[in-house]
Amino acid sequence: MWSHILAVGLLFSIFLMAGAKRLGALIRAFRFQSLMLALSTASFALRYGDRELWIITAMILFIKVWLIPRHLNKITAEMSSGENMGLVLNPPLSVIAVIVFCWLIYGFYDSFIGGMSGDARLNFSISLLAVFTGFFLMVFRLKALAQIIGLLVMENGVFMLASSISSGMPFIVEIAVFFDLFVLVVVAGVFVYRIKGLFTHIDVSRLTRLKG
């Protein structure tokens, strides 16, 4: 029952991201998704009695639920860039696109994979949907901060995918991924500051004017 509730929470977070109009709402949706991911990992740790999964749960809570959203909120506040995300597709069309993704993933699973149990199939589908949604945010949102969050959502999807088709990645790999992720957000934040300082905005579409 709890696994289904957490899966619904993860799915709900994906639609929240697709329907978000402002960066603040997108950051809150990412925090909520990371919290659902941490609770899901904790449920696996409790079920299998795995200490390493408890450590990974604690790292998700510290890095993805607290540290990264706090850092992104700080950048958003300092740049006064919380009004919009440079939407290429408006929120209603974005939600429809995610629904189409969901339908395609279920069709892909039925045609080419199959053989998983009900819970595994649900987690596999949601994780693939998270990867596609992260990619969608990177392509159809023009603000640099929104694209950073899209990359983080893709990483959440890859983490869920590894958990759904196996027992997860090796512990050392998980630690390295979390460290790389944190460094990525810090470095990306520095680049966003530089873009803002040089061009007075963080809309990456305007950077195409720099082409010779």
Tokens of 73: 């909120």
For position 32, what pLDDT does the model report?
94
- Whether 35 and 57 have beta carbons less than 8 Å apart is answered as no
Beta bridge partners of 87: 141
Give Rg (Cα) of the chain: 18
For position 56, what pLDDT does the model report?
84
Beta bridge partners of 141: 87
For position 188, what pLDDT does the model report?
73
CB atoms within 10 A of CB 183: 10
For position 81, what pLDDT does the model report?
59
Q: Is the pTM of this model over 0.85?
A: no
Cα dist from 16 to 11, 36, 60, whole Å: 9, 13, 20
The helix/strand/coil state of 134 is helix
- Cα atoms found within 13 Å of the Cα of residue 16, Cβ hemisphere only: 18
Q: What share of the chain is helix, strand, coil (3-state, %, to 5)?
A: 85, 0, 15
Terminal C-alpha separation, the chain: 58
pLDDT tens by residue, the chain, 212 residues = 777 888 889 989 999 999 888 888 999 999 999 999 889 888 888 887 878 888 888 888 988 899 889 988 888 887 765 556 777 788 899 999 999 998 888 777 766 666 666 677 788 888 889 999 999 988 888 887 888 888 889 888 888 877 766 666 666 666 667 667 777 777 777 777 666 666 666 666 666 665 55
Cα–Cα dist 188/208, whole Å: 19
- Cα atoms found within 13 Å of the Cα of residue 63, Cβ hemisphere only: 22
CB atoms within 10 A of CB 11: 19
